[in-house]
Amino acid sequence: MNTPQRSLAATLFPIVLLLIAMASIQSGASLAKSMFPVVGAQGTTTLRLVFASIIMVLLLRPWRARLDASTLRSVIIYGMALGGMNFLFYMSLRSVPLGIAVALEFTGPLTVALLASRRALDFVWITLAVIGLLLLIPVGQTGANIDPLGAGYALGAGVCWALYILYGQRAGAENGIQTAALGVVIAALFVAPIGIVHAGSTLLTPSLLPVALGVAILSTALPYSLEMVALTRMPARTFGTLMSIEPAFGALSGLLFLGEQLTLWQWLAILAIISASVGATLSMKREGTPPVAAD
């Protein structure tokens, strides 16, 4: 292979990994939704996080992390935000199509990106994001078929995602990827009581456990690993820009696996939010390392 071919392959490799990671996350969400009739969104979140924490602990050995009081506080908030994000996102999926839930949740990292810069251009991205939200939030004719409570859960997940970013960056500064494993364990401990109260012994249904393991792998273990590899091979700004198309992956996954049809207005709303996220990412002045997605 000559140099230009090697260069092209080196450029495309992390992009392909990131696209696979996004497809994996949204496929995992589609699979998770199939568990709702048995254990509910609460039980599904619990099983996913418990299995994911076991996988992450075995792979990353977080007991090696060195934590002082300040870092431990950040890790605990990070883990609780991660648990809240997963829980609220799955609660939204009970009544909101996957693509719309992802788009509404994506307002969390979008807000963080916009707050990082206060240039006049950012008002363009804010306007696009607001247009997208107005088209999705159940007010008026275009959003009439979106459940208000489900939309509220998705926006709440976005708030948790913003906290996940802010505190994940602080906690990860000293312990890197091991912070992710600690965060997932804390998230599991935070959400598990809710799932146990809701679903009880049904959580231990033998036929359900392989599905739960599949959700944990597709939604956490596999995409985390692929995204970390991609992060080491591309600029942070490129990573953030590509991650901005995740709502589209959610909409396509919902269409392919769940048969969720979206209206033209809803597709335009998702496009507006994606455009706002891409624009905000490209407008950022500094190349901070974006955290991986954790839906």
DSSP string over 132-154: HHHHHSS-SSTTTTS-HHHHHHH
Q: What angle do CA 231, 31, 228 make, to 5 degrees?
A: 10
Locate all alpha helices (DSSP H) within 94-121, ordered by sequence.
98-105, 107-115
pLDDT in tens, the chain (295 residues): 566 666 767 777 888 888 898 899 999 999 999 999 999 999 999 999 999 999 988 887 777 777 777 778 888 998 999 999 999 999 999 999 998 999 899 888 888 777 766 677 777 888 888 888 878 775 544 445 788 899 999 999 999 988 888 887 776 666 666 777 888 899 999 999 999 999 999 999 999 999 999 999 999 888 877 876 776 677 766 777 777 788 888 988 988 888 888 888 889 889 988 888 888 767 665 545 455 555 6
Residue 5: CB partners within 8 Å, gap ≥ 6?
none
User: CA-to-CA distance for 292 and 239, rounded, in angstroms?
Assistant: 10
